Structure 1
Amino acid sequence: MLVKTLMSAMALAATMCATAPLHAAEYPVRPITIMVGFPPGTSTDAIARIIGEQFSKDWGQPVIVDNKPGVGGSLAVAQVAKAAPDGYTLVLSATAPMNINPHVYKKLNYNALTDFEAIGQSTWLPYLLVTNKQKGLDSFQKIMDYARKNPEDLTFASIGMGTTSHLLMEMLMKQTGTKMIHVPYTGSSQAQTDIIGGNVDMTFDTLVSTLPHVKSGRLQAIAVSTEGRAKLDPSIPTIAEEGVKGFNMGAWLGFFAPKGTPKEVVQKLHTQLNRTLANPDVNKKLSALGSEVVMSDSPKAFQQMVEENFQIWGELVKEAGVSQK
């Protein structure tokens, strides 16, 4: 009986080993869902749909984008953490759910560093510092001079405590020795409306969100947050060029699968992602959103980047004095 049981177990194990690569080779054989933690029409949603559409064309399987907004993008991430690890439920996460929210929220129902298989980065979103025109602070140096002479007189908007737009300004104030008053909002639209109206002085926001107001003359573009100029408008200088050496902050976006997803499937997704990002039509569409295409060398390299940024943003949250929610 023991011998028969042992032989049966060995046969089962051999069968599983023989079929696992075959299943990975056949993947995908049914629709894939990409979870997005932000509403339809946002940059993250648009990027997911552009990439998902190309996945569908190349693989001949439907790709469904499922929006589950809430808790700064973390609801969607939490759902994927508990999904079946089979490669059919993915999440396109931005910086906040993986690098910022774990330091801001006490209970997220997921561990950003251990509950996922990193697939690869897709894009990098520079942020643009914009001001209203009421005070005539139309350059970075004018803002810095005014802020140093008048501490806590200038105000800046964000889309909430502990968000990317908030922490970017905290980093800027830290590196320039300035102090401004934080005015948190619940959304980008209202924040920009109040800046245009002169109720708040400035904000950091994505280029795709701010440039229409800049081009219409309602907002003044000051500088971008990344080390290189934005491809969407290379005439705008960087903060580093304005004298804040080493300033290079923005928001990354990348794909993750649940922990335990077969390595062969993860690698296949990684290869397909980079193939998609290299497609000229896809690249053009992503660039039109103000995002810059970034391809990870490997899933491991992407995971390392996530872990490094986890520490950087965690320190920023602590220095900003953001209390856990």
Structure 2
Amino acid sequence: MKLNCLIKFFGLVFLASNAIVALAAYPDRPVTIIIGFPPGTGTDTVTRIMADRLSQRMGQQFLVDNKVGVAGSIGAGIAAKAKPDGYTLLVSASAPMSINPHIYKNLTYNPLTDFTPIGMLVWLPYLMVVNPNDPANTLQQFLANAQKSSTPVSYGSTGNGATSNLVMSVLAKRAGVEMTQIPYKGSSQAQADVIGGQLPVTFDTLSSSIAMVRAGKLKPLAVATLKRTELAPEIPTVVEQGFPGFEIGAWLGLFGPLGLPPAIQKTLLNEINAILQEPETRAKLAKSGAEVRMSANSGEFALFIKNDNENTGKLIRDFNIKPMEQ
């Protein structure tokens, strides 16, 4: 009996020591980071900057895998079902976690119970842009022209339920203007149509549109932040053009599937926070239109997600944004 107990004891010690070694060696092979949005979007740009630095710091490749669809929810659903071993991660924008659960039926995941939150990465301010030849030079002029239009003004979004859809829906409702959404698969396609004159306006991340603004191919009208963003201080806010308290943007954060080992969760949080404090990385993110936002710990990030989900749900109900089929 004593011999059997000793065998079991040492067997458990052996298994535990192997688990500790495995965690200590993480990662020992390439890691995939899933995102639910296409190349050219703010989420893609930020994720690739972070993946490159994680690869350099951790000695293994961090590969970005774009799983596009349903305003980011396809990618989130795939990541939720991945093995929780740290080798499949998710960078999610706020839409799949805070918007889509309130407006889409039959999502394949629950944002509050199917993931291990790791940490916040950045905040993406949203920018309203039009063709440079548009007669409007301010948000107020654009809305005045839209009110005079005999047909609803079309606007581009990155899909039903995306933040670009929500921000324009709320603005149109508050302004008393009727607008029609034209969903696109990504920011670059919507911007191309605004540049080409096929689409009047789009409201998307500063990250995805600032290059075209700097090149003179898009005209900025307003940024949806409470104060002018340091990333583009010359652009006036929606607030200062007649809409007090108007701030809608997107946050990006790193997640693992539910059950991710706490040691891996902590390792990844420490790594991303170290990267986000690097002057060179911060400069790259700022150039791409992203403001660094870090989490002190993963619990803080989890609480933020819960509160954001609740607050966004209330906003959607208050503005009567209708549920949609996938």
In which range does the TM-score fall when normalised by the shorter chain?
0.7 to 0.9
Q: Which residue in 2 is equivalent to 1:244?
A: 243
Q: Which amino acid aligns with 1:323?
A: M
User: For 1:179, what is the secondary structure of its paired residue?
Assistant: coil
Deviation by residue 1:152-191 (Cα, 9 ceiling, x = unmatched): 75443323322211110122234x3422221313243443
Q: Counterpart of 2:226 in structure 1: which amino acid?
A: E
Q: Unpaired segments of 5 or more residues in structure 2?
A: none
- Residues paired across the two proteins, number: 323
1:91 maps to which residue? 90
Partner residue, 2:181: 183
How far did residue 64 of structure 1 move? 2.0
Which shifted more, 154-163 or 208-217? 208-217
TM-score, with length taken from structure 1: 0.87
Contact 2:153 2:180 in 1 (8 A): no
1:54-96 per-position Cα deviation (integer Å, ceiling 9, x unaligned) = 1122222222222322333223222221222111211111122
Distance in 1 between the 2:172 and 2:5 partners? 66
Task: Quote the Cα distance in structure 2 between the aligned partners of 1:202 and 1:234.
Answer: 21
| Paired position in structure 1 for 2:229 | 230
Distance of 2:216 and 2:263 partners within structure 1:
51
Q: Alpha-carbon deviation of 1:285? A: 1.6
Structure-2 separation of matches of 1:238 and 1:151? 27
Q: How does 1:227-306 map to 2 (within 5 A)?
A: 227-306=226-305
Distance 1:306 1:296 in 2: 11
The yes-or-no answer on 1:321 pairing with 2:322 is yes
What is the rounded CA distance, in whole Å, between the counterparts of 2:152 and 2:72 in structure 1? 32
| 1:226–1:262 CA distance, 2 compared to 1 (3 A) | same
TM-score w.r.t. the length of structure 2 is: 0.86
Instruction: Encode CA deviations 1:236-264: one digit per residue, 9 max, x unaligned.
Output: 12222333222221111111011111112
Cα shift at 1:151: 9.2
Using the alignment, how far apart are the partners of 1:65 and 1:199 within structure 2?
A: 32
Aligned residue in 2 for 1:79: 78
User: Aligned equivalents of 2:301 and 2:150: distance in 1?
Assistant: 40
Correspondence for 1:141: 140
Shift of 1:207: 2.1
Q: Kindly indicate whether the alpha-carbon contact (under 8 Å) linking 1:231 and 1:290 is maintained by their aligned counterparts in 2.
A: no
> Structure 1 residues 80, 195: CA separation in 2 closer, same or farther (over 3 Å shift)?
closer
State whether residues 40 and 208 of structure 2, in contact with CA within 8 Å, keep that contact through their aligned partners in structure 1: no
The worse-fitting range, judged by mean Cα deviation, of 147-156 and 258-267 is 147-156
Matches for 1:1-325 after TM superposition, within 5 Å: 12-17=11-16, 19-132=18-131, 136-146=135-145, 153-174=152-173, 176-187=174-185, 188-196=187-195, 198-318=197-317, 319-325=320-326
2:122 and 2:291 in contact (8 A); partners too: yes
CA–CA separation in structure 1 for the residues paired with 2:287 and 2:222 = 19
Q: Distance in 2 between matches of 1:11 and 1:177?
A: 70
Counterpart-to-counterpart distance in 2, 1:82 and 1:9? 33
Q: Distance in 2 between matches of 1:111 and 1:295?
A: 23
Q: Is the 8 A contact 2:124 2:251 kept in 1?
A: yes
Ranges in structure 1 where 5+ consecutive residues have no aligned partner: none
Superposed CA offset, 1:186-243 (max 9, x none): 2434433443455543220122433344344443211111224233321112222333
Report the identity percentage: 41
C-alpha distance in 1, partners of 2:40/2:253? Answer: 18
- Summarize the Cα distance change of 1:151–1:180 in structure 2 as closer, same or farther, 3 Å threshold: farther
C-alpha change, 1:64 and 1:92, in structure 2 (3 Å) is same
Alpha-carbon RMSD: 2.8
* Letter of the 2:163 counterpart: T
Q: How far apart, CA to CA, are the structure 1 residues paired with 2:310 and 2:30?
A: 35
Change (3 A) 1:311 1:242: same
